[in-house]
Amino acid sequence: MRKVLLFLDPGIDDSLALMYTLMHPEYEVVGIVAGYGNVPKQQAVENAAYLLDLAGIKDIPIIAGAIGPLTGELVPYYPLIHGEEGLGPIKPPPYVYADQEVFDIDKARELIEQHGNELSIVNLGRLTDLAMLYILYGPEFVNQVKAIYLMGGAFLVPGNVTPVAEANFFADPIAADLVLEKGESITIFPLNVTNKAILTPEVVEYLTQINKSPYAFLFEPIFDFYFAAYQKLIPGIKGAPIHDLLVVSALINPEIVKTLKRRARVDQTGEFTKGESIADFRPKPKEEPAKKLDTIAMEIDYPAFIEDVVHIFSQSKVEE
């Protein structure tokens, strides 16, 4: 079993990643930290609660994350891509949240203490909450986990919110750089690979038909909304990139991506380069201490990714 503590900002691709993880027989989700990002923090918490409730799951603690980045700046949300409530046209009922206990960030410390190096951290949203763990409890404490997997950055490819920056790194570049510098055993899934992790309407139709999860009814409406938004952003695109889903698929199936080991940093303040992810890809990169090296996914085996996603949703562990 892979025990994971998830950091999410659901959001459509985060939601699909969460559904996949909950349905996967090899994953055990020990907690969900839901914070601002695609949607405001409160909405992220409610969406996580709604998705757990749909599957009848009551024993996974939801932890409320931050309302904004370490700079204290206000940041935009993305209703045009993810929908007003973050689930496309779906309106999660508010009463679900009222029924569920929501913990503060200290619960994340408790979970790390409890599970130690059996636990992996999977960060699919802004890096603020994970950075807060380093600030509150120190690198030695957080780095007792087995590994950290995160969606963020764009190496040698364009960004998605500025010409050079990806959304998770751009929204809180201080947090992103802090995590990369203080964290150990980090694997990064940047736009290089997640842009290629697309679901097409045909695959989503098939996934809906074969779906044995309590989430089957959500697939088409949330995908259609998200795909329509991407078609406006990138005319001619054949499907929508489900960035965060690739992370949880490749964590269990590492052969889905090809990786390089480099020290990754994030530009924190540049007028035109804020949030840019930087690593040395010269033929002879500068030597770095082994502990500073991150594993960066650079290429994806797309058919293997699709095969895995279809496989997991067709034989889910929670039956309707």
Window of 11-19, 177-185, 257-265, 305-313 that interacts with ligand BDR by CB under 6 A:
11-19
Q: Does 14 bind Ca ion (CB under 5 A)?
A: yes
Per CB under 6 A, contacts with ligand BDR among 136-175 are 151, 160, 166-168
Judged by CB under 6 A, how many residues of this single chain contact ligand BDR? Answer: 13
Query: What crossing angle do the helices spanning 243-252 and 12-23 adopt, rounded to 10°?
Result: 20
Q: Which does 55 bind (CB under 5 to 8 A by kind): ligand BDR, Ca ion, none?
A: none
Nearest one of 10, 36, 6 to 22, comparing CA atoms: 6
Query: What crossing angle do the helices spanning 12-23 and 302-314 adopt, rounded to 10°?
Result: 60
Q: Which does 267 bind (CB under 5 to 8 A by kind): Ca ion, ligand BDR, none?
A: none
Tokens of 14: 């985060």
User: CB of residue 169 vs ligand BDR: minimum separation in angstroms?
Assistant: 8
Could you report how far apart the first and last alpha carbons of the chain are, in Å? 23
The total of other beta-carbon atoms located within 10 Å of residue 139's CB is: 15
Among 51, 54, 108, 124, binds ligand BDR (CB under 6 A): 124
User: CB of residue 170 vs ligand BDR: minimum separation in angstroms?
Assistant: 8
d(CA 36, CA 25): 29
Window of 6-14, 54-62, 140-148, 215-223 that interacts with ligand BDR by CB under 6 A:
6-14
Tokens of 267: 């530009």
Q: Does 16 bind Ca ion (CB under 5 A)?
A: no
The distance of Cα 172 from the centroid of its chain, to the nearest Å, equals 15
d(CA 11, CA 9): 6
The residues that touch ligand BDR, with contacts defined as CB under 6 A, are 11, 13-14, 38, 124-125, 151, 160, 166-168, 243-244
The residues that touch Ca ion, with contacts defined as CB under 5 A, are 9, 11, 14, 124-125, 244
